[in-house]
């Protein structure tokens, strides 16, 4: 593995961790503001933040991998994501009503971060494809130049002329 690949991997990991940690902070702030009102049922801010972090990281990585994939993975990722969200919703219905904000936070965090990760992954895929296309174009130009040089030198050899050095040295 080349050092540039390691830097790119660290960059993607940093983006995922940063994006996944912004959402729990927003949840903490929102739940804290909601708890400032005098209500008998206070929101569990720490639990909400942890759920947002866990589901956000999971969804962001899943979306990043799905978006960066050159093959269509929507058929595999979407049913798994919907199954997870459905399982969380079913668990909430079965359990007591107090876990409703936690389940809502999990579904919201998963949905938002899955969308973010998918967009980020598709951007990375498009950037990678553009780079590969530019390299193919450059190689095509070099091949054309080499072919032209070969034709010119073949012509010069046929006429007993000195062969030209196109190396630029």
For residue 55, which of 79, 26, 83, 24 has the smallest C-alpha distance? 24
For tokens 């990281």, the residue is: 57
Q: What is the pLDDT of residues 24-79, one digit of tens each?
A: 888 878 777 777 766 666 677 778 888 888 888 888 888 888 887 777 777 777 78
The pLDDT of residue 97 is: 65
Q: Would you list the domain boundaries of the chain?
A: 3-125
133-156 mean pLDDT: 89
Q: What is the pLDDT of residues 86-144, one digit of tens each?
A: 787 777 767 766 677 777 788 888 888 888 888 888 888 888 888 888 888 888 888 88
């Amino acid at each position: 593995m080349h050092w540039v690949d390691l830097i790119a991997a660290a960059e993607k990991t940093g983006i995922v961790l940063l994006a996944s940690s912004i959402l729990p902070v927003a949840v903490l702030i929102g739940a804290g503001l909601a708890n400032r009102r005098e209500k008998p049922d206070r929101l569990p801010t720490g639990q909400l933040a942890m759920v947002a972090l866990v589901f956000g990281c999971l969804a962001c990585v899943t979306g990043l991998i799905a978006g960066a994939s050159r093959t269509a993975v929507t058929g595999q990722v979407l049913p798994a994501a919907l199954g997870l969200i459905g399982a969380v919703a079913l668990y909430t219905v079965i359990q007591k009503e107090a876990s409703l904000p936690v389940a809502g936070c999990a579904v919201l965090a998963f949905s938002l971060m899955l969308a973010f990760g998918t967009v980020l992954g598709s951007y990375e895929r498009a950037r990678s494809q553009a780079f590969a296309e530019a390299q193919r174009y450059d190689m095509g130009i070099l091949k054309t130049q080499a072919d032209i040089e070969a034709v010119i030198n073949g012509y010069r050899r046929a006429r007993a002329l000195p062969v030209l050095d196109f190396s630029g040295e």
